[in-house]
Amino acid sequence: MSGRVHVIRGSVSLPEAELMWRFSRSSGPGGQHVNTSDSQVELRFDLARTEALPEVWKQRALERLASRLVDGVVTVRASEHRSQWRNRETAATRLAALLAEATAPPPKPRRPTRIPRGINERRLREKKHRAETKQGRSRKDWS
């Protein structure tokens, strides 16, 4: 691939040696070019056996990507460009983003906070005022 390093997060990046590439012809229109070039890229990464990710990240990713994995391998396809090289870049970037999302730490739990008394009182006051306004509109004793 290119000399570009695809960083997952921090100092961890996609290990070039563990990436498995497969090329095939893209589907869809493309004119004379489409039947002769293998521009669709399929990038496979063995998540279950990799040593490149910290163990905690790996477990997190295996849990979160369970539905996408086939025997512990995650697959990403790219075929939107006519150039195989650009599709390779797209696939690698997509895989790095997918792994970054899957290995992210879980969000901090929400701590419930109390509504300040002043805000609650103001809301009730406005509600009462609105009710009185509407009540005043419905009275029929003005003759």
pLDDT for position 123: 96
The CA distance from 66 to 71, in Å, is 10
Q: What is the pTM of this model?
A: 0.66
pLDDT at 108 (0 to 100) = 92
Q: Which parts of the chain fold into alpha helices (H)? A: 55-64, 84-103, 117-138
Q: What is the pLDDT of residue 120?
A: 94
Q: What local confidence, expressed as pLDDT, does residue 128 receive?
A: 96
pLDDT in the model for residue 26:
72
User: Phi, psi (5° rounding) for residue 90?
Assistant: -60, -45
Rounded Cα distance between 125 and 133, Å, is: 12
pLDDT by residue for the chain (143 residues), tens digit each?
A: 445 678 887 787 778 888 888 888 777 666 666 666 778 889 998 888 888 888 888 888 888 888 888 888 888 998 888 888 899 899 999 998 988 888 888 889 999 999 899 999 999 999 999 999 998 888 776 65
